[in-house]
Amino acid sequence: MEPLRIAILGQGRSGRDIHGVHLLTRPERFRIAAVVDPLPERRTRAEAEYGCETFGHYTELFGRTDLDLVVNSTPSHLHVPISTDLLDHGFNVLCEKPFARKAEEVDSLIRASERNGRLLAIFQQSRFAPYFCKAKEIADSGILGRIVQVSIAFSGFARRWDWQCLQANNGGNLLNTGPHPLDQALRFLDFPGMPSVLCKMDRANTFGDAEDYVKLILSAPGRPLIDLEISSCNAYPCFTYHIQGTQGGLKGSMTRLDWKYFIPAEAPPQKLIRTPLMQADGTPAYCVENLEWHEDHWDLPESQQNLFGTMTGIYYDMLYRTLAEGAPLLVTHQQVRQQIAVIEECHRQNPLSRKEEDASV
């Protein structure tokens, strides 16, 4: 089979450094046939790096029938209008995150995909992060018992002054970084409807008008509580995950996970005692028992040390099977719609003033 022909819109940190870099490593499956970028120097570089055609505006692709997929890695606020336009002109589309800002925009994009009979995929590659897949596997295995709480932190200390810190550009931590951990959080929650949302946002170190601190609590009947933090004012970042269960727990980062658990059949038999506990000499006692803890760990394999490359590779393998063989997308429209609905509710609970446009922006 001939390689799939790809057009990439944008040659910034995503279009070039993620999509372009990966696609060059898989020439047997993908060929970068065209690049669109308004900056002439980026077009010149793309011609040299990919050996492809280049254009200044995406509408110059209209009318072509030789492209199997267009990757929309334009700035965030352009994702919805450009993806809609591409679908309406007959292209299959892979859209970068954030997919949209509002759930109704997601619905509109889904309708555009359906009425044109075109593929619409969303680039949520962190769904395939090795550390997430392993943590989810352990949680789902039952060895930690019933999962009570999952804490996820994508935090650090940073000051930001680029276009992605402006609300007008769909910037801020929740729309920039948030789609990665929030997608994982919703997989841990595993709830088909709209969860209960409690969110607090703040502007701490940003030079823009969008939030750079997010604390988000998600809950749903019969599901674990999810505590998600995306902070740019955490000078002491610790764990990416902290999972609490009725038989044990897990802690870990993107490169190492540790977990411990006890086996109920090995635990001392206990029953509720309503009278005061006493030691053999009659003095007060406290509930103390010795549980036999089993401990294990996981380290990121050496072959997966390039996390962005690993996640992107797995995602594009999935997408190739969809385009070439008709396999279903593993990141579905409705899953991403749920994510955007949560993000929309977070913004509703935290209305932030906007910075007036001036010469310094």
Same domain, 56 and 201: no
Q: What average pLDDT does range 34-59 have in this prediction? A: 97
Whether residue 77 lies inside any domain: the answer is: yes
Global model pTM greater than 0.85: yes
Same domain, 253 and 140: yes
Same domain, 155 and 223: yes
Sequence-distant (≥ 6) Cβ neighbours of residue 144 within 8 angstroms: 138, 243, 245, 246, 247, 248, 249, 250, 259, 261
Whether residue 310 lies inside any domain: the answer is: no
**CATH number of the CATH domain containing 78:** 3.40.50.720
Ranges 76-90, 156-170, 186-200: which has the least confidence: 156-170
Whether residue 267 lies inside any domain: the answer is: no
Position 357 confidence tier, pLDDT thresholds 50, 70, 90: low
pLDDT in tens, 188-221: 999 999 999 999 999 999 999 999 999 999 999 9
Same domain, 74 and 152: no
Question: In angstroms, rounded to a whole number, what is the distance separating the alpha carbons of residues 24 and 39?
Answer: 21
Percent of the chain with pLDDT over 70: 98
Which residue type does 84 have?
T
To the nearest 10°, the Cα dihedral for 105, 205, 239, 141? Answer: -10
Same domain, 93 and 205: no
**CATH number of the CATH domain containing 250:** 3.30.360.10
- Return the SS3 of 230: strand
Question: In angstroms, rounded to a whole number, what is the distance separating the alpha carbons of residues 218 and 118?
Answer: 33
Closest CA to 290 of 268, 265, 322: 268
Domain boundary among 123, 146, 179: 123
Same domain, 243 and 208: yes
pLDDT value of residue 134: 98
Question: In angstroms, rounded to a whole number, what is the distance separating the alpha carbons of residues 69 and 315?
Answer: 14
Sequence-distant (≥ 6) Cβ neighbours of residue 299 within 8 angstroms: 255, 256
Sequence-distant (≥ 6) Cβ neighbours of residue 158 within 8 angstroms: 205, 212, 232
Same domain, 82 and 147: no
Domain around 226: 127-257+296-304+340-349
Whether residue 329 lies inside any domain: the answer is: no
**Both structure tokens of 137:** 């596997």
Which residue type does 167 have?
Q
E strand or H helix at 106: helix 103-116
Backbone angles phi, psi at 4, to 5 degrees: -70, 140
Domain boundary among 102, 123, 144: 123
Same domain, 38 and 146: no
Whether residue 357 lies inside any domain: the answer is: no
Whether residue 61 lies inside any domain: the answer is: yes
Maximum CA extent, the chain: 90
E strand or H helix at 50: helix 40-50
- Tally the domains of the chain: 2
CA 136 to chain centre: 14
Say yes or no to pLDDT of 359 above 90: no
Say yes or no to pLDDT of 61 above 90: yes
Beta partners for residue 68, in sequence order: none
Q: Are 255 and 131 in contact (CB under 8 A)?
A: yes
Domain boundary among 97, 123, 149: 123
Same domain, 9 and 99: yes
**Cα dist. 89→23, 63, 117, 268, 326 in Å?**
24, 8, 11, 67, 21
Buried b (16+ CB within 10 A) or exposed e, 180-193: bbbbbbbbbbebee
pLDDT in tens, 89-131: 999 999 999 999 999 999 999 999 999 999 999 999 999 999 9
Length of the chain in residues, anyone? 361
Q: Give 21: exposed, middle or buried? Use CB within 10 Å, 0-12, 13-18, 19+.
A: middle
**Cα dist. 233→90, 165, 204, 223 in Å?**
44, 15, 7, 30
Q: Are 175 and 343 in contact (CB under 8 A)?
A: yes
Which residue type does 106 have?
V
Give the count of beta carbons closer than 10 Å to the beta carbon of residue 90. 14
Same domain, 344 and 215: yes
Same domain, 72 and 147: no
pLDDT in tens, 240-298: 999 999 999 999 999 999 999 999 999 999 999 999 999 989 899 999 899 999 999 99
Whether residue 278 lies inside any domain: the answer is: no
Backbone angles phi, psi at 45, to 5 degrees: -65, -40
Whether residue 332 lies inside any domain: the answer is: no
Same domain, 110 and 223: no
pLDDT in tens, 168-195: 889 899 999 999 999 999 999 999 999 9
